[in-house]
Structure 1
Amino acid sequence: MKIYISRLIIIGLSIAYLISCKTNETSNSDRKHFIETKNIDSSVKPGDDFFQYSNGSWLKNAKIPDEYSYTGIFLEADRTIKGHLKEILENAAQNDSKIGSISQKVGDFYTSGIDTVTINKRNYEPVKSLLAKIDAVKSIPEWMQIATEETVNTYNPNIYNTPNIFGFIVYADQKNNTKNIAWLLQAGIGLPERDYYFRTDTATIDIQNAYKNYLTELFRLTGSDSSTSIKNSETVYNIEKQLASSHKTAVQLRDVSANYHKISMEKIENEQPNIGWKAFFKTIGAKTDSVDMEQPEYYAKLNTMLKTVPIDDWKLYLKAHTLTSYANLLSKDFQDASFNYNKILSGQKKQRIRGERIVSNTDAELGDALGQLYVEKYFTPEAKQKIDELISNIVKAYANHIQNLDWMGDATKKTALEKLNAINRKIGFPDKWRDYSNVTIDKSKYFENNVACNRDNFDFMLSQLGKPVDKSLWGMTAPTYNAYYDPMHNDINFPAGILQSPLFDKDADDAVNYGGIGWVIGHEITHAFDDQGSLYDKEGNMKNWWTKEDKTKFNKKVKQIQKLYDGFAVFKDLNINGELTSGENIADLGGMSIAYDAFKMTKQGKSNEKIDGFTPDQRFFLAFANSRRVKKTDESLRQYVQTDPHATNNWRINGPLMNFEPFYKAFNVKPGEKMYKDPKDRIKIW
């Protein structure tokens, strides 16, 4: 995955896991085979559908647990990591740790979260005074004061689509990334993204109704009668729909140039007087003379609506968004209401057990504290060294690719190689851990613990405003099973969680490791040269480093890959969006081909020795396909296609392979087979 510049910088990515094959013990040997040949569906030709060939038998038999919207390699990895974290947290909770220590903080946070007796007894008492405060509001400035305070209290660095009216973060200035500035992003809606308010297909209407029912239930749970609750939810929904009309689409958010608007504070104060920007920045404790207002259309719309929408309607909106922000911190009725809405989006039938949810939330709120304890036990210096060596091999292969490109001139090649060699590697965990000394955790107050963490996370972010960019900071916690590239730091980031089995195993043959973690590394590096990353120079500034002729050739290739993926169907009425997914598709194709070339530099890559009946090349491609062995509910898959910048798992495998000659040779793919493309039509970028 990459970190999308037009969105919230720190995202959980979640959905973008890039993981490899699960190790497997055979019944007749103690040797690990690493490729699960039992998952292969030999009735399918590799050249017709390689994803189905590699994973088909597993796909036929796999059952999605009721507590999840997916199963497969992602879930296996997640459960392993969460199991390790749960053990750490339970030990911390049981030990008499020194007050103020990270062990005490994470242990007591976890204890407060699993204490459902206290949480249920409190019902919605933690927010009663806030709801009363909203009821007492008499003017828009008063309303804005509360909305601003809640921007701080509910801040979560892992969530982009915040229901708060303000989307505020601090990050590097995209055109001068030696300095951090304030960013303002579109926000204020409760559905996944703007198009959910305007599509009229049956699936979307079901989601709209489920969301309205959710809002209705929240109002009912806090004292309104049924008819009033229904009316209130419609009022809130209509405000959101008006705000959503000003939002940019997911595709438009990918245009980094069009989403950069550095503007003076004086100008936004004059142009948007109803918002009261001076009061906003004073309340959050920030001093700045300019901001990057990424989507000014949203704030222009908000400014107008603050004048045209009645104050009583805005009060209902703020009450609803307060409750949606805090629902999972309140009693069971509120948690159930939240789940009943989200299950329509995901297809998940049951809530995950409480302990699993609190493990995830502890990682989200106290990530560096829990991360320290995790890496002490589950990440070794040897693993870090091996990954560093593997990255070096892939960088070497990448340099060879750039030098041999037939469509790029020497001047652009020279600059591209400089950028490649300037990419910083962050492996395992941060060089320095966050200090949580300002956070007080009480084992009997789960709600207050979350708010305290939110405020501390916000204050930490705010402390960077106006200061030089600290490129040592991470956007993911150490136990995360994911990876990312940050174009403004020009760095690749591989948390400890992803650098272990089943993605990487020191005992696996090179074909498996290069087909697994290798292509992930290649994928992340390629983001430096995709249709977004290519807009940034080696220092991470938005700056053109291309000749006009080479940029034209590159853009033509981007259009080709967009057209290819536009033709890939997921449902009868829904195809992959080639423009939305183009950056990830470029990274998938580049990452796989670069990893393959790096693999060919190894002893195994140069040999023809078979393991379990497969050649080294075949094992590489099988490992690549196994890395996306996932089965999703239809509801989850539909939402994914409509909102996520990645293609679906099958097309993330088949799309790159149908353009890659070594795959054709490895599996003897012939004309007439479904994945076959004429050599002149095969796309090669990096």
Structure 2
Amino acid sequence: MTKLAVATASTLLALFSATTPAVETPLEALPYTPGLDVSAMDRTADPCTDFYQYTCGGWQKNNPIPADQARWDVYRKLHSDSQRFQWGILDKLAKNPQSGTPDQRKLGDYFAACTDEERSEALGAQPLEAQLARVAALTAKRALPALLAELQRDVPDAKLFFGFGAAQDFADPNRVIASASAGGLSLPDRDAYLRRDARSATLRRQYVEHIARTFVLLGETPAQAKNSARQVLRIETALAGASLSKVEMRDPYKLYHGMDAKALAALTPHFDWKPFLAANGTQDTQAFNVTEPKFFKSLDSLLAREKLADIKTYLRWQLAHSLSPYLAKSFADENFSFFGRTLHGIQAQAPRWKRCVELTDRQLGEALGQEFVARAFSPELKAKTLKMTRQIEDAMAKDLAELDWMSPETKKKAQQKLAAIVNKIGYPDKWRDYSALIVTRDDFAGNVMRATRFESQRRLAKIGKPVEHGEWDMTPTTVNAYYDPQMNDINFPAGVLQAPLYDAKMDDAPNYGNTGGTIGHELTHAFDDEGRQFDAHGKLTDWWQKKDADAFNSRAQCIVDQYGKYVVVDDIRINSRLTLGEDIADLGGLILAWTAWKAETADQALESRDGLTPEQRFFVGYAQWACENNRPEDMRVHARTDPHSPGKYRVNGLVVNMPEFAKAFACKPGKAMTKTQRCRVW
């Protein structure tokens, strides 16, 4: 995946709700799954007709979606296994509260408080009452800015009209400035409010019913709650109408509008930024990026015309929505009923231990990461994956040098950018300091809010200071990776460098196909439709000759046209403008991994295994990371909002463009996995 500094934090809302009995037990070590699993294959399928079925048919048959999951795939299975391993770590720390380092004691206390379901039930809605009282005390709109700043600081994932935080400056990547971004929506994206098809109308009706039931839990009568819910939807719909679409947000130029404090004030004459900034401790800030000026103009008009009572209704909903997962069963169940079951088709809530592991990782991630790395990520593993990364970078340098569609001037700058990329493997060089965070064993919701405030203040304190290039935006346990175009670095947490994704026991072919393809994927993001707009230093600038940009766009259009024909679910096709960056990175990454693997094994006598040639093992090793099963509800959400194509097309959509695949499997012309006009950008 790729990451821009304006991206919002991951939601915590789906994590907590009522408990279902846990059937798993903690693990002492990560379980082993081979990097190429022949039992996951369907050898009755023709790889030249449907390569995804050939590589993943057995996996799909043998891995039904767990009741507490919206989808199930190789990444999520590894994530689930890793969670059980982390559970074992945290459970031991929780049972020994007086031993260990300060961070270990914090981890144990946090996990103990989180898993104390009996106390959470006894407290009921009490942790929410103090926040609701702050809203109830609002008697004039002029006091709204300070209140919003305080609530945004303290309430996890609070969607309160807009977002505000620290961000790397697009124009000067060496400094951190303040960023004000569009927000305020609880549904997955703005189009969920605006589409007029029957399915979207039904979803909005179900959403309003859920809001109303939540207001009843807050003490309103059913009639009052129904009216309150309508007011919330009306306000959120207005915010949605002023927001950019997911596709528009892929253009960084549409997300960068630098201005000073005076210009910001002029943008919203009815919203006073001075008390807002004073309340969150950024009163001296003079440099801002307003990601969507149109949104803030509309927000200003909305705040001017709305009754104070309706604004307070909206705030009460957002607080209840944000904090429900950390309250008693009635609130948690209601939250899950819509955001889990209705929206994503999830049949049951995850067991509480799993939700507590997830939340500990989110709020104390680098403390937990130290424990994980010490047990599951050796220096030898780091060295091996770093070597592979450098080999794939060498392949990229060779590819750039040999391009026939790029001018020497642009090639030179591309090579400079490639050479400047920083490789972050496993974990940060400097661990985060949690000494200022107060954690107690008897205050779960309080811990969540204090940790939220700790992180908010940590981030806001960056404004006006130089960028800290050593920081990570993923925790070491994360089963994922990312490229940051402003940092110009690629980041591979220890969690994603585990079997079956990277299998130290396996031969090179599947490892280069799988992890090598992922490394190449993240590297290619530096030169996809978004990443290519940032230079070697992370500055948003046009460093391309026009004819080279035109050639890039022409090649990218081939991918847009190809993926736009694929059906996800029902009659919904891939939004190939939204998925373009990931599709480019998938193809470029696999090509680079192939080149690097061939260079690594050039002098080796490779043997067939499991009835597969080395070349076939490379492609099967790649494809098996994408094995997945999906619920239709979740597929509909992801088709609208996810910049990644479904797993089937992240496999079949690539191999049709690689003559090396057709040769490896002896695919004849006319087969589904071959085509005469192949797409290739990098």
TM-score normalised to structure 1 length = 0.94
CA distance in 1, matches of 2:263, 2:418: 39
Indicate which of 566, 569, 576 corresponds to 2:567: 569
Cα deviation digits, residues 397-451 of structure 1 (max 9, x gap): 1111111111111221121111111110111111111111111111110111011
CA distance in 2, matches of 1:58, 1:448: 42
Indicate which of 319, 338, 341 corresponds to 2:338: 341
Is the CA contact (8 Å cut-off) linking 1:247 and 1:298 kept in structure 2?
yes
Cα deviation digits, residues 524-563 of structure 1 (max 9, x gap): 0000000110001111111122112111111111122111
CA distance in 2, matches of 1:35, 1:377: 24
Cα deviation digits, residues 553-584 of structure 1 (max 9, x gap): 11111122111111111124100011001000
After TM superposition, list the pairs within 5 Å mapping 1:193-272 onto structure 2: 193-272=189-268
Out of 631-640 and 126-135, give the one that drifted further: 126-135
- Counterpart position of 1:532: 530
- Counterpart position of 1:18: none
Indicate which of 281, 292, 295 corresponds to 2:292: 295
- SS at 2:411's partner residue? helix
Indicate which of 185, 192, 205 corresponds to 1:189: 185
Tell me the amino acid that sits aligned with residue 80 of structure 1. Answer: D
- Counterpart position of 1:670: 668
CA distance in 2, matches of 1:390, 1:272: 51
Tell me the amino acid that sits aligned with residue 234 of structure 1. Answer: R
1:253 Cα deviation (Å)? Answer: 0.4
- Counterpart position of 1:47: 48
Q: 1:382 to 1:537 in 2, by over 3 A?
A: same
- Counterpart position of 1:95: 96
Is the CA contact (8 Å cut-off) linking 1:106 and 1:362 kept in structure 2?
yes
- Counterpart position of 1:307: 304
Q: 1:429 to 1:309 in 2, by over 3 A?
A: same
- SS at 1:178's partner residue? coil
1:61 Cα deviation (Å)? Answer: 4.4
- Counterpart position of 1:397: 395
Cα deviation digits, residues 16-48 of structure 1 (max 9, x gap): xxxxxxxxxxxxxxx996422233223332122
After TM superposition, list the pairs within 5 Å mapping 1:27-176 onto structure 2: 34-97=35-98, 101-155=102-156, 163-176=159-172
CA distance in 1, matches of 2:63, 2:370: 35
Unaligned residue ranges in structure 1 (runs of 5+): 16-30, 157-161
- Counterpart position of 1:3: 3
CA distance in 1, matches of 2:582, 2:207: 30
CA distance in 1, matches of 2:334, 2:582: 35
Q: 1:276 to 1:99 in 2, by over 3 A?
A: farther
- SS at 1:500's partner residue? coil
Indicate which of 314, 317, 324 corresponds to 2:314: 317
Is the CA contact (8 Å cut-off) linking 2:35 and 2:503 kept in structure 1?
no
Out of 387-396 and 206-215, give the one that drifted further: 206-215
Is the CA contact (8 Å cut-off) linking 2:35 and 2:511 kept in structure 1?
no
Is the CA contact (8 Å cut-off) linking 1:126 and 1:447 kept in structure 2?
yes
Is the CA contact (8 Å cut-off) linking 1:54 and 1:626 kept in structure 2?
yes
Out of 64-73 and 430-439, give the one that drifted further: 64-73
What's the Cα RMSD here?
Answer: 1.9
- SS at 2:357's partner residue? helix
Q: Percent same amino acid among aligned pairs?
A: 34
Tell me the amino acid that sits aligned with residue 327 of structure 2. Answer: L
Tell me the amino acid that sits aligned with residue 366 of structure 2. Answer: D
- SS at 1:51's partner residue? helix
Indicate which of 428, 431, 434 corresponds to 1:433: 431
Q: Does 1:327 align with 2:324?
A: yes
Q: 1:32 to 1:202 in 2, by over 3 A?
A: closer
Is the CA contact (8 Å cut-off) linking 1:670 and 1:676 kept in structure 2?
yes
Is the CA contact (8 Å cut-off) linking 2:107 and 2:367 kept in structure 1?
yes
Q: 1:530 to 1:605 in 2, by over 3 A?
A: farther
- SS at 2:36's partner residue? coil
- SS at 2:600's partner residue? coil
CA distance in 2, matches of 1:149, 1:14: 20
Indicate which of 625, 631, 634 corresponds to 1:633: 631
CA distance in 1, matches of 2:418, 2:204: 45
Indicate which of 491, 512, 524 corresponds to 2:489: 491
Is the CA contact (8 Å cut-off) linking 2:97 and 2:109 kept in structure 1?
no
- Counterpart position of 1:28: none
Is the CA contact (8 Å cut-off) linking 1:12 and 1:476 kept in structure 2?
no
1:507 Cα deviation (Å)? Answer: 1.6
1:12 Cα deviation (Å)? Answer: 7.9
CA distance in 1, matches of 2:35, 2:456: 43
1:638 Cα deviation (Å)? Answer: 1.2
Is the CA contact (8 Å cut-off) linking 1:607 and 1:616 kept in structure 2?
no
Q: 1:61 to 1:437 in 2, by over 3 A?
A: closer
Q: 1:13 to 1:455 in 2, by over 3 A?
A: closer
CA distance in 2, matches of 1:447, 1:498: 30
Cα deviation digits, residues 252-273 of structure 1 (max 9, x gap): 0001112110011101212312
1:132 Cα deviation (Å)? Answer: 2.8
- SS at 2:114's partner residue? helix
Q: 1:233 to 1:605 in 2, by over 3 A?
A: farther
Is the CA contact (8 Å cut-off) linking 1:100 and 1:437 kept in structure 2?
no
CA distance in 2, matches of 1:300, 1:630: 43
Cα deviation digits, residues 93-135 of structure 1 (max 9, x gap): 1113359811111111111111111111111111213223322
- SS at 2:582's partner residue? helix
CA distance in 2, matches of 1:271, 1:67: 45
Cα deviation digits, residues 219-262 of structure 1 (max 9, x gap): 11111111111111111111111111001000000011121100
Indicate which of 594, 607, 610 corresponds to 1:609: 607
Cα deviation digits, residues 63-101 of structure 1 (max 9, x gap): 211111122312320122101111111111111335981
1:669 Cα deviation (Å)? Answer: 1.8
TM-score normalised to structure 2 length = 0.94
Q: 1:61 to 1:605 in 2, by over 3 A?
A: farther
- Counterpart position of 2:514: 516
1:58 Cα deviation (Å)? Answer: 2.8
Is the CA contact (8 Å cut-off) linking 2:34 and 2:499 kept in structure 1?
no
- Counterpart position of 2:29: none
1:623 Cα deviation (Å)? Answer: 0.8
Tell me the amino acid that sits aligned with residue 319 of structure 2. Answer: T
Out of 406-415 and 196-205, give the one that drifted further: 196-205
CA distance in 1, matches of 2:673, 2:639: 21
1:334 Cα deviation (Å)? Answer: 0.7
CA distance in 2, matches of 1:61, 1:80: 17
- SS at 2:490's partner residue? strand
Is the CA contact (8 Å cut-off) linking 1:519 and 1:594 kept in structure 2?
yes
CA distance in 2, matches of 1:270, 1:417: 43
Q: 1:136 to 1:359 in 2, by over 3 A?
A: same
Cα deviation digits, residues 509-537 of structure 1 (max 9, x gap): 00011011100000000000001100011
CA distance in 2, matches of 1:171, 1:428: 24
1:204 Cα deviation (Å)? Answer: 2.4
CA distance in 2, matches of 1:123, 1:63: 35
- SS at 1:426's partner residue? strand
